Amino acid sequence: MDFDLPEEHSAFRDVIRRWVDNECPKDSARELEADEDNYPHALWDKFTEAGLHGVGIDEEFGGQGGDVLMQMVLARELARSLGGLSWIWGITSFAGSKSIGLYGSEEQKAKYLPRIAAGELKAAISFTEPGGGTDLLGSMATTAERVDGGWVLNGEKIWSSSAHVADYLLCIARSDKTVEKAHQGLTLFWVPADSQGVSITPLPKLGMRSMGSCTVVYDNVFVADENVLAEPHNAWYTLLPTLNNERIMVGAFCLGVIDGVLEDALAYVMQRKAFGRFIGEFQALQHYIADIATAQKTTELLLYYCASKQARGEPVGNEANMLKLHASEAANQAADLGIQMLGGMGYSAETDMQRYWRDSRLWRIGPITNEMVKNGIAQSLGLPRSY
């Protein structure tokens, strides 16, 4: 059994790693992230120039091709330097290319995928309800009423990252109130963000700065039938494969953060002196380094396993949950240890440890809390539902 990346993927990783070092170094990421009020359009444009928006999109639609594993290699390399800013690429990759590429109609693919691949279209995910959080299905208050030629949306969403600069919003709403179970009667909409009745407000937050997260209000918003994705009233079953992909992508971003933390920690402990010695000679700090390196390798193995399974079309739901759980906890702990090793400089905005910590802290909460992930894993082992 070969645990190494295939040659094609390894070559792609090396190219992207050099590109990131040249075009998106950590000092530039700190500057972009510090400018919380301004979306980094220049970073998006760099991704466009490098063809990164087309990774995972078939060549027939103007993309670069590449499977799920290739996408995750890219996500990891971006996050090593950019941390949470990697979502500048990841959101549209998920909400646009992955969603439309998987369950869009042929007309929708032909219309939108070339624009996504060319960097001409930004998308945002508009799922979370203000009163629901992880309880997306039980809290679904956003409604879609059938009208002539389309649907009318009413409701509010929260934590919709980059919605304020998006061209389209991937929105889920309740379209049938007569169903027996909460996961039934839901429909996916590809909503033009400039539609009449859509209002978007950015939210201040701890991490993931600069890219913006927003509330989105839908006030009698008309959405044409041609902007319904997949089968009406059946959105939850449609979404499940992409939700697994999102958790795998979170795992890749977390692994990139671990890479960045380990890289910075090793450099620091080998040049910082205390008590007449390099601090990398101290046993306690060597143990921290060993813990981070071990987390890096275990996360890498689980990531490549999950991504390879999904690329082959095999079921990967439980493994994707385990990856999201393990990777997010490991990344946040690694960043915390990194702050501890750097001491006061780890707490300073002049270094990246605090940025890695703030960004990775979110991944323990979203897109699903780690407590809910554990519930799902336990249920998969035959234990009763606990919530």
Q: Which phi and psi (to 5°) does residue 308 adopt? A: -65, -40
Would 2 be classed as within a structural domain? no
Q: What is the 3-state secondary structure (H, E, C) of 22-40?
A: HHCCHHHHHHHHHCCCCCC
Number of domains forming the structure of the chain:
3
CATH number of the domain to which 202 belongs = 2.40.110.10
Q: What is the DSSP letter of 142?
A: -
352 and 244 share a domain? yes
Which of 183, 216, 234 is the last residue in one of the domains? 234
Single pTM value for the model:
0.96
284 and 213 share a domain? no
pLDDT of residue 387: 85
Q: Which two tokens stand for residue 307?
A: 């991504």
Looking at this protein, which amino acid is placed at residue 248? I
CATH number of the domain to which 272 belongs = 1.20.140.10
202 and 255 share a domain? no
Would 1 be classed as within a structural domain? no
d(CA 336, CA 296): 15
pLDDT of residue 37: 84
> pLDDT for 263-305, tens place per residue?
999 999 999 999 999 999 999 999 999 999 999 999 999 999 9
Residue among 162, 291, 309 at smallest CA distance from 247: 309
pLDDT of residue 1: 63
30 and 93 share a domain? yes
Within 8 A by CB and 6+ apart from 244, the residues are 310, 316, 317, 320
Which of 96, 122, 148 is the last residue in one of the domains? 122
Which of 104, 122, 140 is the last residue in one of the domains? 122
Would 248 be classed as within a structural domain? yes
176 and 202 share a domain? yes
H/E run at residue 19: helix 7-23
258 and 295 share a domain? yes
Would 345 be classed as within a structural domain? yes
Would 262 be classed as within a structural domain? yes
Q: Which phi and psi (to 5°) does residue 201 adopt? A: -130, 120
Q: Which two tokens stand for residue 348?
A: 């300073």
Would 386 be classed as within a structural domain? no
110 and 129 share a domain? no
Q: Please pick, among 33, 246, 300, 319, the residue that the annotation labels catalytic.
A: 246
Would 273 be classed as within a structural domain? yes
H/E run at residue 310: helix 283-311
Domain boundaries, position 266: 236-380
Instruction: For the chain, report the end-to-end CA distance as a whole number of angstroms.
Output: 39
222 and 146 share a domain? yes
Within 8 A by CB and 6+ apart from 64, the residues are 51, 54, 55, 56, 57, 117
258 and 366 share a domain? yes
244 and 346 share a domain? yes
Q: Which residues of the chain have pLDDT under 50?
A: none
336 and 229 share a domain? no
Residue among 364, 346, 363, 343 at smallest CA distance from 355: 346
246 and 274 share a domain? yes
Residue carrying the six token digits 């809390």: 369
pLDDT of residue 74: 98
Strand stretches in the chain, DSSP E: 123-126, 143-147, 150-161, 168-174, 186-192, 198-203, 213-224, 228-229, 273-274, 277-278
Would 55 be classed as within a structural domain? yes
CATH number of the domain to which 23 belongs = 1.10.540.10
Is 226 in the active site?
Answer: no
